[in-house]
Structure 1
Amino acid sequence: MTTVNRRIDPDGVADALRESADNPSAFLALNAGNAYFTDPSSSGVVAYREAGRFLIQFGGVFAPEADRERLLGAFLGFARAARRKVVAVQLQRSDAELYARCGFTVNQVGSSYAVRLPDHTLRGSRFMKLRNKISKARRSGLEVTEVPYDGHRDEIAAIDREWLQAKGRHVKEIEFLVGECGGPAQRHRRLLLGRLDGAPIGYISYAPAHGSRPGWLHDLSRRRATAPPGVMEAINLHAMDTFRGEGAEWLHFGFTPFVGLSPEHEVPGASRMTTRFMRLMAERGDKVYPAASQLAYKEKWGPDLVLPEYLAFHGRAGLPAIWQILRVTKSV
């Protein structure tokens, strides 16, 4: 049967994620700019972007277990016909093992973090600094509310501009592996906005997470340079309390590259060159990606779960493919 490349509507992708995705960051497949591959012989969808001679595929194959290997094979056939090589990013362990069986070289690239909401508490000495920061932000007059994006897009855009300016004029806004606000998928997200004296000071966007650990993904967060300490933590605690009250099981803090790397997580056949590169980035790569600050924020919440995530090259690993990933995400 002929393989086809279809541009399917966001609701179709969202349905596939809801039915089959076990990756807590799977909702990022709905980011603007992604293309989608489907095949008549299989259920499910593959999300990807074109970059040079590569197809950069995100988050594994979002399909029922019985169809995953068949759909991956069809996607590889599509890539061959287009004379492109496939590189997959942000794979879960089960994805990594499937891809290794299908001829990929697979390496751990980082880790993701999550807390189980029903059991989570900030009591105890380990959370004293976090409680104090949140209390200070609340005493300053911080108000946190859940708001619709369409009614507050100008406020969100103003925070985004100031946040990016504070990073420096040469810094680009990272894409692909982080979320976004707006677009056709916005109605699935939830947006919490913090205000001081009525003025918007920061926000966090949350995306749905499906699969074996359902809940919400702490996706995109921005604040003004003038935001006092504890604002973002107070917004997130408000969200956690809200989600817990609604019966949500997990809050996922998402993927951070170059952290939690361990030989015990590697898949047989991993590339030594890629392992060395990841170790180097873990030690010196903060100018490329702020992994250390992201990790510190996630660890302060006392995560109950740390999951290794993977990068996979069809065939042999190579630095040109890593470079294209950095370009697609605008990390360079």
Structure 2
Amino acid sequence: MKPAALAQRTARLIASHPFTTGVTLLILVLALITGPIRGPHRPLRGWLGAGAVQLLDGHWWSPFTAVLFTDDLLELIVVLVLTVVLVGASERLMGTWRTALAFFGTAVVGIVVGAVIQVAANDIGELWARNVHGLLVLDAFTAIGGTIMTASAFAGTLWRRRIRVITLLVAIMYLLYSGLPSDFYRLLAVLTGLALGPLLRQAKVSGGWLRSSHHEVRVLLASALTITAVGPVIGLLGSTRYGLLSPVGLLFSNEAPSATSVIQRCQAFAVTRNCFRELTLERINGLGPVLLSVLPLLLLLVAAYGLLRGRRFAVWLAVAVNGLLALLSALYYGILPIASARPSVSPRYWEVTFILALSTLVPLAMAILLVVFRRHFTVMPSAKAVRTYVLLVLGTGVGLVAVYVLVGWLQRDTGFTRPIDIGDLFADVLERFVPVSFLRREPLQYLPTTPLATIVYHNIGTVFWLVAIIGAIPPMLGRGLRRRGTTEDAHVRELLHRGGGDAISFMATWPGNSYWFDPIGGGAIAYRVEGRVALTTGGPFGALGPHDGAIQGFARFCDDNGWIPVFYSVEARYTSLFERLGWSTMTVAEETVIRPQLWATTGKKWQDVRSSINRAQRAGIRSEWTTYAALPLTSAVQLSDISEQWVAEKDLPEMGFTLGGLDELRDPEVRLMLAVDEDGRIEAVTSWLPTYRAGIVVGWTLDFMRRRPDSINGVMEFLIAEAATRMKDDGIEFMSLSAAPLAHTAAAQEGGKDTMDRLLGYLSSSLEPVYGFRSLLKFKQKFQPELHPLIMAYPDPVALPAIGIALVRAYLPGLSMRQAATFVRGRG
């Protein structure tokens, strides 16, 4: 970009963000005047900072001035960046005066309410309030957090949810692991912004939890797990630690007392701050114990990566680690009873113990969330991968226990601060695997003194957690039951490139499908098993017809496995074959097909389509034919936003089976047709699945369709028309607008309907208010398509109830009991 153009763009940004510009410059100028390196000096600091004491002394202005100053140069840099990015984004979303009100209003409420609570707690002798009573607060993050939380009410569905979840989690983690008054005020400011946003917007904003796609749930839970895993770093790096979970912050201190002096000074239940600190420092004397406290957090980060990839293995790994941390907290901080009896202790001891015990809640809540939302993680691990990992972890643990006991026994007289026996070793060995922050506050009975004893004492836990981390990586990256191995996946794609299938054959590459390969004809059939029903995804592919042998071979294969074979959404040309087999058939959908080489929009019937094209062109909207991999990050985020808004509007979850979602767009062979305005904003998107013959694309099938709620009318018609024009130029034979599930024009008369017709009719009617399949079929008829019936064939009418349930499970795999009730009420 040329300097002149850059200057003009900068000037426009400044003019459109006056408050952001003004407050950024104000913070910078005030820092330069009062000292950017170490912040304002005393006594000026006492006049500018906020806190309980300052408000009691009548410094009414302090909540305003406290958010305009910083403590040091690094904080100043971070504050300036976040002000430009987050406050700037807030001003763009909700305007200048609302941003100014949110910036100072949330901060004032957070500081004043926080100080009042702090004073009240101090008066009754609460431990945290007494410790932090005289601390000053200079914290611009309080205002920034409140501002972005207020602005979340003005954001789209996707970013509103992400802003709220991440901002709240960060604020809570800072309070738990740092515990300064500023962390408390910041959390209150964030909560104030959560309430203020809908009031300022003066429009209805959903107060409940909006529905999320699998992809978005994975992003949110992975973010939450990452924040809770990184939270202890706040305690590690903080210079002052008052948070409930701050004991782990002792890890990076480099002054470790001698083992003998600690043992002598710290007697049973003589719990003092210095004694607790010295016991912890002695336990972490060396690199191994420091790693032991960090590696479980790294294992959680590995699990978070697996969550992003939809791995069920990552769910249970994170549940196991968080459950272990919660259990250790409960055991070592006094929630659960332990074997040894406790003598009577002072009330202060029990207050400390109760506060520390609250650390159980964070990992426990995270574990519960993962269990509740586990259905969104559909990539199942293979039994072999799970078995291998469990055996590796257990074998490593048992082996390291044996090494510890053996070395300890060999050095029982000389290797420790006192002679030990086998009972001492077994009583202590499990603590060698426990992160330092969870080790009990009772005094140590012995410590190592020789090099060999020290190496084993401090490092067996580190080795164990390293093995657990390294062993968890292959299940996160390798294949799962919902992701085929590279050989099988490559073979399926090779067969698809040969041809011989139908318009939806490419859906065979989607997660959830298994394959039967025809040993005689060389083709394949994709299917999924729901209960005892094997539903095919279309018909055979990979070999030229006739496919009679493949269909009969698959039926025998299902019978051998005790499954009921059901051919779903196959072409009507197979009807005669199924009649010869004695099977029942019924029409379940109609595929709408356009011939691009005959494409034209002339004539009265095409008036609506022509009007949509002209309307889009007048609005400056252009079409773009591309792939997901070729999109810049900003465009990919826009697609996620559009998809999440669509999902959030539904009372039922995102459907699957023959309906693709955001994840299916990422396939490199899938093409996207985007509607993009003059500013680069994506208004709508469609995706197209290829159909091959001898390695050449001969057709495209419409799958994914999404538009922004506020996009112009007719934008989808514009996209389909542009796709047809593109395919005409490329010489494509057919363009399928796909089939709307359970919607067709060839409906049987009421008297001629069998049980399955009525069941699918009920299913279609129930889903219509939510998903609008019949409306979708009517929309596609605007393009004057050929209508090709698609049928379902099944061998045994007695199995109709099981088949109906299998279809519901296939299309709505994440249907809960509450959603099922919504589904049943859908007809009303």
Question: Within 2, Cα distance between the matches of 1:271 and 1:20?
Answer: 35
- Superposition pairs of residues 163-178 of structure 1, within 5 angstroms: 163-165=646-648, 167-168=649-650, 170-178=651-659
Contiguous gaps of at least 5 residues in structure 1: 1-5, 265-269
1:185–1:100 distance in 2 versus 1, CA, 3 Å: farther
- Superposition pairs of residues 56-75 of structure 1, within 5 angstroms: 56-64=535-543, 68-75=547-554
- Superposition pairs of residues 279-290 of structure 1, within 5 angstroms: 286-287=768-769, 289-290=771-772
1:102–1:15 distance in 2 versus 1, CA, 3 Å: farther
Q: Which residue of 2 aligns with 1:310?
A: 791
Q: Which residue of 1 aligns with 2:725?
A: 241
User: 1:272: how far off?
Assistant: 2.2
Q: Which residue of 2 aligns with 1:28?
A: 507
Q: Which residue of 1 aligns with 2:456?
A: none
Paired residues of 2:599 and 2:725 also in contact (CA < 8 A)? no
Secondary structure in 1 matching 2:520:
coil
Is 1:328 matched with 2:822? no
The answer to which structure has the higher strand fraction is 1
User: 1:229: how far off?
Assistant: 0.7
Secondary structure in 2 matching 1:90:
strand
Question: Within 1, Cα distance between the matches of 2:618 and 2:507?
Answer: 35
Paired residues of 2:568 and 2:791 also in contact (CA < 8 A)? yes
Q: Which residue of 2 aligns with 1:147?
A: 626
- Superposition pairs of residues 178-189 of structure 1, within 5 angstroms: 178-182=659-663, 186-189=667-670
User: TM-score scaled to structure 1, two decimals?
Assistant: 0.85
Q: Which residue of 2 aligns with 1:113?
A: 592
Q: 2:674 is matched by which residue type in structure 1?
A: L
Q: Which residue of 2 aligns with 1:293?
A: 775
Question: Within 2, Cα distance between the matches of 1:120 and 1:131?
Answer: 13
User: TM-score scaled to structure 2, two decimals?
Assistant: 0.36
Is 1:225 matched with 2:709? yes
1:97–1:11 distance in 2 versus 1, CA, 3 Å: farther
The alignment of Structure 1 onto Structure 2 pairs a total of residues equal to 318
Question: Within 1, Cα distance between the matches of 2:787 and 2:809?
Answer: 27
Is 1:259 matched with 2:735? no
Question: Within 2, Cα distance between the matches of 1:183 and 1:129?
Answer: 30
Question: Within 2, Cα distance between the matches of 1:258 and 1:220?
Answer: 17
User: 1:246: how far off?
Assistant: 0.9
User: 1:52: how far off?
Assistant: 0.9
Q: Which residue of 2 aligns with 1:193?
A: 674
Is 1:208 matched with 2:701? no
User: 1:40: how far off?
Assistant: 2.8
Q: Higher relative contact order at CA 8 Å, sep ≥6: structure 1 or structure 2?
A: 1
- Superposition pairs of residues 37-48 of structure 1, within 5 angstroms: 37-48=516-527
User: 1:263: how far off?
Assistant: 5.5
Secondary structure in 1 matching 2:577:
helix
Q: 1:209 is matched by which residue type in structure 2?
A: T
1:99–1:176 distance in 2 versus 1, CA, 3 Å: same
583, 588, 592: which one pairs with 1:104? 583
Secondary structure in 2 matching 1:56:
strand
1:174-214 C-alpha deviation (Å, 9 max, x unpaired): 11112345569822211112222211221111111346x94
Contiguous gaps of at least 5 residues in structure 2: 1-483, 816-822, 824-828
User: 1:134: how far off?
Assistant: 2.1
Q: 1:249 is matched by which residue type in structure 2?
A: E
Moved more, 184-193 or 313-322: 184-193
Question: Within 2, Cα distance between the matches of 1:60 and 1:315?
Answer: 19
1:1-48 C-alpha deviation (Å, 9 max, x unpaired): xxxxx9663332233234343422222222122111114333111101
Paired residues of 1:89 and 1:311 also in contact (CA < 8 A)? yes
Moved more, 22-31 or 218-227: 22-31
Q: Which residue of 2 aligns with 1:158?
A: 641
Moved more, 293-302 or 13-22: 13-22
1:101–1:250 distance in 2 versus 1, CA, 3 Å: same
1:252–1:149 distance in 2 versus 1, CA, 3 Å: same
Question: Within 1, Cα distance between the matches of 2:525 and 2:583?
Answer: 16
Moved more, 56-65 or 195-204: 56-65
Q: Which residue of 1 aligns with 2:496?
A: 17
User: 1:135: how far off?
Assistant: 1.3
Identity %: 22
Paired residues of 1:103 and 1:315 also in contact (CA < 8 A)? no
1:119–1:70 distance in 2 versus 1, CA, 3 Å: closer
User: 1:251: how far off?
Assistant: 1.2
Q: 1:24 is matched by which residue type in structure 2?
A: A
| C-alpha RMSD of matched pairs (Å) | 2.8
User: 1:294: how far off?
Assistant: 0.8
Paired residues of 1:149 and 1:181 also in contact (CA < 8 A)? no
Paired residues of 2:743 and 2:774 also in contact (CA < 8 A)? no
Q: 2:686 is matched by which residue type in structure 1?
A: I
Paired residues of 2:508 and 2:537 also in contact (CA < 8 A)? yes
Q: Which has the larger radius of gyration?
A: 2
Paired residues of 1:10 and 1:185 also in contact (CA < 8 A)? no
Question: Within 1, Cα distance between the matches of 2:801 and 2:807?
Answer: 10
User: 1:71: how far off?
Assistant: 2.6
Paired residues of 1:259 and 1:282 also in contact (CA < 8 A)? no
Q: 1:261 is matched by which residue type in structure 2?
A: A
1:66-110 C-alpha deviation (Å, 9 max, x unpaired): 673333333223222322111121010122332333342111112
Paired residues of 1:29 and 1:58 also in contact (CA < 8 A)? yes
Is 1:132 matched with 2:623? no
User: 1:278: how far off?
Assistant: 4.5
Q: 1:286 is matched by which residue type in structure 2?
A: E
Secondary structure in 1 matching 2:652:
coil
Q: Which residue of 2 aligns with 1:3?
A: none
1:184–1:76 distance in 2 versus 1, CA, 3 Å: farther
Question: Within 2, Cα distance between the matches of 1:282 and 1:174?
Answer: 13
Q: Which residue of 1 aligns with 2:569?
A: 90
Secondary structure in 2 matching 1:242:
helix
User: 1:64: how far off?
Assistant: 3.2
